[in-house]
């Protein structure tokens, strides 16, 4: 019976360490894994015991039901006995066990070693991509026409006016198509460059290589990670194809929506095969993408809007975040503080990116993050069309309308698309406001990590540390480490763009607008595919409990829309009207 259920005899009874080694348990650093018979390895040191127990209970439920239907009475006794054995085994291995959604676990899972965390490897992979993209630049210098002497020729060639990135033609996504999906891979990426098909294949292969290295770093062997990554990357290509179809593209339905929806359908209608699970690392992908995003947040670019942009982004955002969280706790009485906070950060900062960072800081459940992602994507699609329609109908000018869109619509891509429906100035202003707002990802993560040492309602977490040093240690433990990479990338590329020889900024822009931007998009696409595949609708409803999270999002977004418009009006019409006039005349 144990063999039929997927457990070895040794894994279901108390044994000493030698027995467990023989049963398939091995130790690598702080990570412990056990292997089910004909099944995947499970990380017991990071909550895997709870997954084993949950899946084991589900299998035993099925077995017990079948036995009862056949007239046997031993099913429940067998379940109780075997469940106790698995629980005892999980405790002996030091793994945390968690209850069904809505309940709290009885022991805290030990944290993984820092060298095996997603945050560290996200920063390492992002740093590698940034360095590779930087060194792939070839500065372009003008030819001196009719130079009188060699000195003039030399001075002319010393001035860099632009830069060509050699990786840019090799990083691509599928192109537009109408009826035949193969048309998305036709043509060349650049004149004389590789074909679109070759470039997409090269980008997909690069994703497999990069994240196979990262997964090896966190303890997943290549024999399991590579096939799984190939499967997830292929699903990402399908999501790209869905978003680039001509009619869908005209509706501005972005790839992240198709990636999440596709993964969700597979997970809940077909089921996720075991061989694909090692690559379902949504946080690893999105954290890598966020570090790459940090590099694009150049201080000089953000300051083009000046004080009005800061007023709209940095004053409105914390007010909405704090007010929405308090509303959820005091008025709606949402039981889970972490779900409440993740939703509040999602709607007030910049959507899913902020939700991921906040969820990591407050250690929200995976299902709570999925709830925030699902609600955010649904409302983003609506707002992406509704806000431009209202702006155009009322006759709001492009500067005010763009600032309003940038401060309220969640996704950066959706912000650009919505701004485009109003006008080019609105598009540029909206994108700049959203970029300024994105800077708050790191600040919010740090604030949540500090705040959650006092507000957490998770009884499984250790008691708050005492004293200044203890408090700082607790904050450091909770802080998502990838935020350090996010801020460091922004600081480094801002310094590179603002210092050094003339023409350095052109090299920076060629790096960020070419391969870095494309790899960032691929990371987000992989992340949303993984989040969708990991999401079970049945469990989401169990964790959500009621419609209160949706009510919270609607009320919070209503406050956000109202307050952002008021701030944008004050900033661009009352306090800094000259800035608005300059933007309308010359844009950014």
DSSP of 418-453: HHHTT-HHHHHHHHHHHHHHHTHHHHHHHHHHHHHH
Convert the pLDDT of each residue in 136-173 to its tens digit.
988 766 555 554 555 554 554 455 567 888 999 999 99
For residue 360, the model assigns a pLDDT of: 83
What pLDDT score was predicted for residue 351?
80
Write the DSSP string, 90-114: HHHTT-----STTS--SSPPPPPPG
- Percent of the chain that is helix, strand, coil (3-state, to 5): 70, 5, 25
- For helices 412-420 and 366-394, what crossing angle results, to 10°? 10
Residues 6+ apart with CB under 8 A from 156: 141, 142, 143, 144, 147
pTM of this prediction? 0.69
* Rg, the chain, Cα only: 26
The pLDDT of residue 141: 63
Q: In what order do the strands lie in the sheet with 41-43?
A: 26-28, 31-35, 41-43
Q: Which residues, other chains included, contact 463 with Cβ-Cβ below 8 Å and sequence gap of 6+?
A: none
Q: pLDDT at position 301, please?
A: 67
The span from the CA of 27 to the CA of 33, in Å, is: 7
The pLDDT assigned to 304 comes to 72
Collect the ranges in the chain with pLDDT lower than 70: 1-114, 140-161, 301, 453-471, 474-475, 478, 586-588
At residue 243, the pLDDT reads 92
285-308 pLDDT, tens digit per residue, is 988 998 998 888 777 767 777 788
- To which residue do tokens 């632009």 refer? 162
């Amino acid at each position: 019976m144990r063999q039929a259920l997927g457990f070895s005899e040794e894994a279901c009874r108390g044994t000493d360490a030698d027995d467990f080694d023989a049963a398939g348990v091995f130790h690598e650093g702080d990570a412990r894994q056990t292997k089910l018979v004909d099944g995947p390895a499970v990380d017991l040191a990071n909550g895997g015991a709870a997954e084993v127990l949950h899946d084991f209970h589900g299998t035993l439920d099925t077995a017990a039901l079948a036995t009862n239907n056949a007239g046997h009475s031993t099913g429940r006794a067998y379940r109780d006995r075997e469940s106790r054995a698995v629980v005892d085994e999980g405790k002996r291995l030091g793994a945390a066990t968690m209850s069904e959604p809505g309940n709290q676990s009885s022991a805290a899972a030990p944290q993984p070693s820092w060298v095996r965390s997603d945050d560290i490897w996200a920063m390492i992979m992002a740093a590698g991509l940034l360095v590779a993209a930087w060194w792939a630049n070839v500065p372009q210098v003008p030819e001196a026409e009719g130079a009188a002497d060699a000195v003039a020729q030399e001075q002319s060639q010393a001035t860099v006016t632009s830069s060509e990135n050699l990786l840019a033609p090799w990083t691509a996504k599928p192109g537009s198509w109408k009826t035949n999906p193969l048309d998305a891979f036709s043509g060349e990426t650049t004149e004389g460059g590789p074909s679109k098909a070759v470039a997409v294949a090269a980008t997909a292969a690069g994703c497999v290589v990069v994240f196979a290295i990262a997964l090896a770093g966190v303890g997943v062997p290549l024999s399991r990670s590579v096939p799984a990554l190939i499967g997830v990357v292929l699903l990402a290509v399908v999501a790209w194809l869905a978003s680039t179809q001509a009619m869908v593209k005209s509706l501005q339905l972005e790839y992240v929506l198709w990636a999440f929806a596709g993964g969700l359908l597979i997970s809940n209608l077909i089921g996720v095969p075991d061989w694909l699970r090692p690559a379902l690392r949504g946080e690893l992908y999105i954290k890598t993408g966020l570090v790459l995003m940090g590099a694009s947040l150049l201080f000089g670019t953000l300051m083009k809007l000046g004080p009005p942009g800061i007023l709209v982004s940095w004053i409105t955002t914390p007010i909405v975040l704090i007010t929405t969280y308090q509303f959820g706790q005091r008025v709606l009485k949402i039981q889970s503080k972490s779900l409440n906070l993740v939703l509040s950060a999602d709607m007030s900062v910049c959507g899913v990116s902020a939700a991921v960072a906040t969820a990591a800081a407050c250690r929200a459940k995976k299902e709570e993050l999925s709830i925030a992602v699902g609600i955010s994507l649904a409302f983003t699609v609506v707002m992406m069309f509704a806000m431009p329609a209202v702006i155009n109908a009322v006759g709001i000018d492009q500067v005010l309308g763009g600032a309003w869109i940038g401060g309220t619509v969640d996704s950066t891509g959706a912000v650009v698309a919505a701004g485009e429906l109003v006008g080019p100035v609105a598009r540029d202003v909206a994108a700049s406001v959203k970029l300024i707002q994105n800077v708050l990802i790191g600040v919010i993560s740090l604030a949540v990590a500090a705040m959650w040492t006092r507000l957490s309602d998770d009884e499984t977490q250790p008691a708050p540390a005492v004293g200044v040093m203890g408090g700082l240690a607790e904050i450091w433990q909770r802080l998502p480490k990838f935020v350090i990479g996010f801020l460091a990338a922004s600081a480094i590329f801002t310094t590179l763009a603002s210092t050094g020889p003339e023409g350095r900024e052109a090299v920076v822009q060629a790096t960020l607008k070419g391969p870095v931007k494309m790899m960032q998009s691929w990371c987000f696409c992989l992340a949303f595919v993984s989040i969708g595949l990991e999401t079970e609708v049945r469990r989401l409803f169990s964790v959500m409990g009621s419609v209160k999270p949706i009510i919270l999002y609607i009320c919070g977004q209503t406050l956000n829309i109202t307050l952002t418009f008021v701030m944008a009006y004050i900033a661009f019409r009352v306090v800094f009207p000259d800035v608005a006039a300059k933007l309308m005349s010359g844009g950014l």
